[in-house]
Amino acid sequence: MVDLWQGLSQAFWLVVTLDAELAEIALRSLSVTLTALALGCVIAMPLAALLAVRRFRWRRSVIAVLNALMGLPPVVVGLVVYVMLSRSGPFGVFGLLFTPTAMIIAQMIVIVPLMASIAHQSLRELWAEYHDLLISMNVTQSQKVRTLLWDARRALLTAALAGFGRGIGEVGAIMIVGGNIDHVTRVLTTAIALETGKGEFALALALGFVLIALTILVNLLIHWLGQTEREGRW
Amino acid sequence: MSGLFPLSVTGAATRRRGKRLVGPVDFDWDGQGTQVVLGPNGSGKTTLLRLLHGIARLHEGEISWACGTAAARNAQAFVFQRPVMLRRTVGENLAYPLTLRGVARAEARGLAEGWADRVGLAEMIDRPASVLSGGEQQKLAIARALIVEPELVFLDEPSASLDGRATREIEAILSDAVEGGTRVVLATHDMGQARRLASRVVFMLHGRVHETGPAHRFFDAPETAEARAFLKGDIVE
């Protein structure tokens, strides 16, 4: 309990004194996760829309696999990305291992199935509602996808926020591919793991509280930008 | 105009899970006047409209439009019994089919404002379509169908479950469209509406065209016992 209070007060102190190291780690956490989120959305949302509107032979199996991948173990993802990016791996020549880029790739792999699955649920319902209308208007496949993505944008925001939540709190994969290198790949979650290992529970808790505050702040900001929960809107 | 007519329907049929829903249907239409598809519930009115428009799959026979099937789809519009509203504003709903056809956003907005005014929704143009009443939603759906100036519009029971005032407003919009040269195929079981709007009648029963002909002849001297019973208000099975 004492550690909790110490952690809270230390978190408060780190924030009000604008601790340079904390700012660096927090900004890196944000930049890695937001980049992974943006790239992940570009893949996950159209994929979800295509799965909603297209009928093909293995569609149900693909959806089942996608849903199963929501629970993809980050440590395994990290390991696979590590092998792929390591010097002897197929992408070793790019020298991406232990860089923020490798962390972005790992986070993307973790969050894409989650976002695509959640988005697919919403888009499937919207497609059921729109199906006859859009067919009667003779729309093309790409027009269908664009219409669904635009009209379901607020529901997709929820999927994106879920992806952000998973990404920003992720530690297993980015620890393996990033290496938790000070001033290079250290982010809030890996710093928490490090401080916990060192027995610095108060500092670890302080970083944890900063992480939670950051997550809430970004969620509120996205809700505000997306104009959700307003009267007369979807 | 792409020259939809004459329409020739020969042995057209559609099935679901092996069961024939409609057909075989045979009739020709030279495109004159307003066709009203009449019949009791479950007779296949909606399915016939969906079949003609290409929403339902044609399993047997042929539906032949003068301009060909692909061009025909673009010259037609469809209004559903329960209006499907895009999750957008009234103005955006109206502009949607125009933007699909490559009309510039500003021009589409201008046309949408004009149509919103025509159907009495001008004050609602920036409000979400979902907040409209049932009658207003149906007027919006009809305006959205007519905004692309289709040669033919299909309407599936457009005034079902609407009050008299909303029905009258919808019929006025349709009459204006017909005067403007748009052909209408309307499915209804509202006899009053059929008498007011029809110039030809297709009477459906058990998924088949049971009787067809000019409206005055159908209403004054129906040829079949089932049509006579239907017009009398008897239960026809």
Domain assignment present for residue B65? The answer is yes
List, as own/partner pairs, every contact residues A172-175 make where C-beta atoms lie below 8 angstroms and the sequence separation is at least 24, other chains included: A172/A73, A172/A74, A172/A75, A172/A77, A172/A78, A173/A74, A173/A75, A173/A77, A173/A78, A173/A81, A173/A103, A173/A106, A173/A107, A173/A109, A173/A110, A174/A32, A174/A78, A174/A103, A174/A106, A174/A107, A175/A78
Report the mean per-residue pLDDT for chain B.
Answer: 91
CA A49 to chain B, closest CA, distance in angstroms equals 16
As given in the structure block, the two tokens for residue B164 are: 């008299």
Residues of B in contact with A135 (CB under 8 A): 55
Percent of chain A with pLDDT over 90: 72
Residue A136 to residue B53, Cβ atoms within 8 A: yes
Cα distances from B16 to residues B9, B59, B188, in angstroms, run 20, 10, 23
B47 near B21, Cβ under 8 Å? yes
Closest chain B residue to A155, measured at CA: B87
What mean pLDDT do residues A14-25 have? 84
pLDDT of residue B62: 93
Distant-in-sequence, close-in-space partners of A118: CB < 8 Å, separation ≥ 6: A158, A159, A162
Residues of A in contact with B73 (CB under 8 A): 138
Q: In 10 A of CB B40, how many CB atoms?
A: 18
Domain assignment present for residue B206? The answer is yes
A107 near A170, Cβ under 8 Å? yes
Nearest-5° Cα angle at A63, A58 to A69: 125
Continuous H helices in chain A: 2-16, 20-53, 59-68, 74-85, 100-136, 141-151, 153-168, 172-178, 188-197, 201-226
Q: Is the pLDDT of residue A233 over 60?
A: no
Domain assignment present for residue B94? The answer is no
Q: Is the pLDDT of residue A6 over 80?
A: no
Query: Whole-angstrom Cα distance, residue A173 to residue A82?
Result: 9
Closest in A135, A139, A232 to B55, CB measured: A135
Band of residue A2 on the pLDDT scale cut at 50, 70, 90: low
Residues of A in contact with B53 (CB under 8 A): 136
Instruction: State the DSSP string of B95-150.
Output: HHHHHHTT--HHHHHHHHHHHHHHTT-GGGTTSBGGGS-HHHHHHHHHHHHHTT--
Q: Read off the pLDDT of residues B63-87 as tens digits, 9 standing for 90 and up.
A: 999 998 888 888 999 999 999 999 9
CA B96 to chain A, closest CA, distance in angstroms equals 9
What mean pLDDT do residues B124-152 have? 94
As given in the structure block, the two tokens for residue A89 are: 């791996």
Residue B87 to residue A132, Cβ atoms within 8 A: no
Q: Is A151 on the interface with B (CB under 8 A)?
A: yes
CA B145 to chain A, closest CA, distance in angstroms equals 9
A111 near A72, Cβ under 8 Å? no
> Rg of chain B over CA atoms, in angstroms?
18
Looking at the structure of chain B, the number of domains it has is: 1
Residue B86 to residue A147, Cβ atoms within 8 A: yes
Beta bridge partners of B63: B9
Distant-in-sequence, close-in-space partners of B178: CB < 8 Å, separation ≥ 6: B34, B184
User: Can you give the CATH number for the domain in which B35 is found?
Assistant: 3.40.50.300
Q: Which of A63, A27, A61, A49 is nearest to A159 (CA)?
A: A49
Q: Is A4 on the interface with B (CB under 8 A)?
A: no
A3 near A201, Cβ under 8 Å? yes
Residue A132 to residue B55, Cβ atoms within 8 A: yes
Q: Is B131 on the interface with A (CB under 8 A)?
A: yes
As given in the structure block, the two tokens for residue A144 are: 């269908």
Question: Helix or strand or coil: residue B185?
Answer: strand
Question: Helix or strand or coil: residue B62?
Answer: strand
Q: Is the pLDDT of residue B163 over 60?
A: yes
Band of residue A227 on the pLDDT scale cut at 50, 70, 90: low
Strands of the sheet containing B60-65, edge to edge, are B19-29, B7-16, B60-65
> Rg of chain A over CA atoms, in angstroms?
20
Query: Whole-angstrom Cα distance, residue A114 to residue A166?
Result: 9
As given in the structure block, the two tokens for residue B202 are: 């297709």
B112 near B125, Cβ under 8 Å? yes
Start-to-end Cα distance in chain B: 40
Q: Is the pLDDT of residue B220 over 90?
A: yes
Query: Which range (A71-75, B17-21, B55-59) has the least confidence?
Result: B17-21
Report the mean per-residue pLDDT for chain A.
Answer: 90
Domain assignment present for residue B19? The answer is yes
Residue A234 to residue B86, Cβ atoms within 8 A: no
Closest in B78, B84, B100 to A129, CB measured: B84
Q: Is the pLDDT of residue B1 over 60?
A: no
Beta bridge partners of B27: B9
pLDDT of residue A225: 77
All structural domains of chain A: 2-226 (1.10.3720.10)
B87 near A151, Cβ under 8 Å? yes
pLDDT of residue A230: 55
Q: Is B80 on the interface with A (CB under 8 A)?
A: yes
Percent of chain B with pLDDT over 70: 99
Which secondary-structure segment (H or E) carries B205?
strand B200-205
pTM above 0.80, yes or no: yes
Q: Is A152 on the interface with B (CB under 8 A)?
A: yes
Q: Read off the pLDDT of residues A130-189 as tens digits, 9 standing for 90 and up.
A: 999 999 999 999 999 999 999 999 889 989 999 999 999 999 999 999 999 999 999 999
Query: Whole-angstrom Cα distance, residue A56 to residue A158?
Result: 27
Domain assignment present for residue B101? The answer is no
Continuous H helices in chain B: 45-53, 69-74, 90-100, 105-118, 134-146, 164-179, 191-197, 215-220, 225-232
Domain assignment present for residue B148? The answer is yes
Judged by phi (left if over 0) then psi (alpha if -120 to 50, else beta), residue B193 lies in alpha
Question: What is the residue range of B34's domain?
Answer: 7-85+132-232
Domain assignment present for residue B121? The answer is no
Query: Whole-angstrom Cα distance, residue B38 to residue B212?
Result: 10
Q: Is B53 on the interface with A (CB under 8 A)?
A: yes
Domain assignment present for residue B153? The answer is yes
